[in-house]
Structure 1
Amino acid sequence: MAAAAGDQLPRIDFSGVAPSAPERWAAARAHVMAALRTYGCFEAQYPALTPELRAGLFGRAVRPVFALPADAKRRNSYGPGKPFHGYLGELPGLPAYESLAIVDGHKPGPVQAFADLVFFPDSGANHTAAFCESVHGVASRMAELEGVVRRMVMEGLLGVAAGEQEEGLPSSSMWHLFRMSEYGAPVAGAGEKEREVRYGSHQDTNSLSVICQDEVDGLEMQTRDGDWVLVHPEPESLVVMAGNALRAWSNGRVYAPFHRVSVGGEETRYSAMLFSVPGGESMVRAPEELVDEEDGHPRRRFRDYDYDEFVRFCVSEEGVRHQDKLKAFCGL
């Protein structure tokens, strides 16, 4: 792992990292755990996501889908009970921001269903096929990396692999949301230093987030001292970030950082994100092994909670008043 310098995140190379290479796996796992405890995030060099796949995603999928008419993008909906699963746009306080999402977007079927819905009848079969190939090629590899990191967290904290024991955060009910976002550039003539916030300060509600950005930086992380720094990942890297579900499950051992998105200069920013989300009827809860007197965690810090109820709290009138929404919702 490259040490974090200045405003940079720790950088971890996942080349050749696999359980079949135990020494390399153990070394990478130690770096992952150190980064998540201290920063709550890190930069991942993941060669399986090639530059060609990344270029295809933004060139053949992300930019074309945001160029569609507004009515087509609004068809990306999962019903009134799940308003944040699909299209987001024209929202108060979020100028020049649009986002579309695919539930289980790392699987071919949901990607094809999304393409059939939003592109029809605006584009032909060839364009739809290019979109599906590009999205699945990237999202599936982002899901692979998320699974590797999640397994390392389980081993690092419990000494077991994901799937063997994930009390309160079971692999069997974990699902993924693939989201594509567009952040409009500031007014013409604005300098790079004249940055405008396009998505304000927040912690992710989910377990782990994997972020793939195009060429334009914009992700800002808040340090523990309260300073905002612009993240500059390497062109071939992904950013992996912990959310509040993992923070609660780990009984506070994993840090969930505040972050936001800003834009500067004259270029629109595009990014793709894969979120791992607790699902089913299981409550998010810290395993008994993580409620002990080690590492300054002498007691349970959060009560058990239903993930969907927490999300609804975050967007409620009461929830928006709190900066640390997890602590307000279920802190002990």
Structure 2
Amino acid sequence: MDALATFGCFDAEYPALTPEQRAALFDGAARPLFALPADAKRRNYYGADKPFHGYLGGLQGYDGYESLAIMDGNKPEPVRDFAGLMCPDGGSNDGFCSLRGEATARIFELEEAVRRMVMEGLGVAKYHDALSASTWHLFRMSEYQAPSAAEKTIRFGSHQDTNLLSVVCQHEVEGLEMQTRDRQWVLVKPSPTSLVVMVGQALRAWTNDRLHAPFHRVTVRGDVNRYSAILFSIPSGKIQAPDELVSDDHPPRFKPYYHDDFVRFSVSEKGARHEDKLRAYCGL
């Protein structure tokens, strides 16, 4: 709780996710996915009303960045559907379905455990089941192309996540940088036995600003591509702090809102003008 309130993140030592499972996730699944033709990757699409839920690539200002995602990626059926979509002939489906194997299951278990510990730490554990019931998960894999240069290149600029919690699994090549409250950038080096857990804006709002949603970015250098896998927990209901977290000493900081509405604001021209997009959107 101290880490999430002060820094908005922590490095979770997590041997339950073994090196073999990481290798299956990245070398056995992610690398072959990003080697597919662009037309195949563009099939990872969930409709015009969900523009950031599937494939991302060729975006203005995000040179050298590609990403694929699975809605409800912690469940077996959506992963099988995704595998069939990426490789309709079935040739590599078994490898792609390892995404859902033990690696994804272990990451999901950690995210759920941290959410429960946050509720317990704030004395509002009775809300855990209701929040879980209204939460779904997006599993996203990303490739950041190496610049083939010694100078650091930003592949994904400074931002705060909009969701509840993000659990980041890095693979070998460093690049994730977290910004401290005094605006210093700290490199989070990959570890074969840990995962990075960070707070998103939705959990910041739900806890009435008791937890910090950190700015972070991804940089690369050298000649080896960087890969990561992230599990995002996303609320589907109204985001509103429980009464127990609102008091005269800690008055309400945000109006109730819905996640999808906030995401649309964040990517709009109006939202882009604000650094603290949550406060601009619904701050009191």
TM-score range, shorter chain: over 0.9
Map of 1:6-17 to 2, 5 A cutoff? none
> C-alpha distance in 1, partners of 2:103/2:64?
25
> C-alpha distance in 1, partners of 2:190/2:41?
29
- TM-score, normalisation: structure 2: 0.97
Match of 1:240 among 191, 197, 201: 197
Q: Alignment partner of 1:209: what SS?
A: strand
Q: Residue deviations 1:235-276, cap 9 Å, x none?
A: 211000000000000011010000000001111000000000
1:182 aligns with 2:156: no
Corresponding letter in the other structure for 1:93: G
Match of 1:200 among 141, 150, 157: 157
Counterpart position of 1:98: 66
Structure 2: unaligned runs, 5 residues or longer? none
Counterpart position of 1:302: 254
> C-alpha distance in 1, partners of 2:101/2:283?
38
Counterpart position of 2:272: 320
> Shift of the alpha carbon at 1:106?
1.1
Q: Alignment partner of 2:222: what SS?
A: coil
> Shift of the alpha carbon at 1:234?
2.2
Counterpart position of 2:80: 112
> C-alpha distance in 1, partners of 2:181/2:112?
27
Q: Alignment partner of 1:248: what SS?
A: helix
Aligned partners of 1:233 and 1:239 also within 8 Å: no
* Larger RCO of the pair (alpha carbons < 8 Å, separation 6+): 2
Counterpart position of 2:50: 82
Aligned partners of 2:75 and 2:100 also within 8 Å: no
Aligned partners of 2:172 and 2:191 also within 8 Å: no
Q: Structure 2 vs 1, CA of residues 141 and 161 (structure 1 numbering), >3 Å: closer, same or farther?
A: farther
> C-alpha distance in 2, partners of 1:161/1:43?
27
Structure 1: unaligned runs, 5 residues or longer? 1-32
Q: Structure 2 vs 1, CA of residues 217 and 77 (structure 1 numbering), >3 Å: closer, same or farther?
A: same
Map of 1:33-48 to 2, 5 A cutoff? 33-48=1-16
> C-alpha distance in 2, partners of 1:161/1:130?
40
Corresponding letter in the other structure for 2:274: H
Corresponding letter in the other structure for 1:179: R
Q: CA RMSD in A?
A: 1.2
> Shift of the alpha carbon at 1:159?
4.3
- TM-score, normalisation: structure 1: 0.83
Which structure is higher in strand share?
2
Counterpart position of 1:286: 241
Counterpart position of 1:17: none
> C-alpha distance in 2, partners of 1:291/1:52?
45
What is the number of residues matched between the two proteins?
A: 284
Q: Residue deviations 1:37-73, cap 9 Å, x none?
A: 1110000111211110001111110000000000000
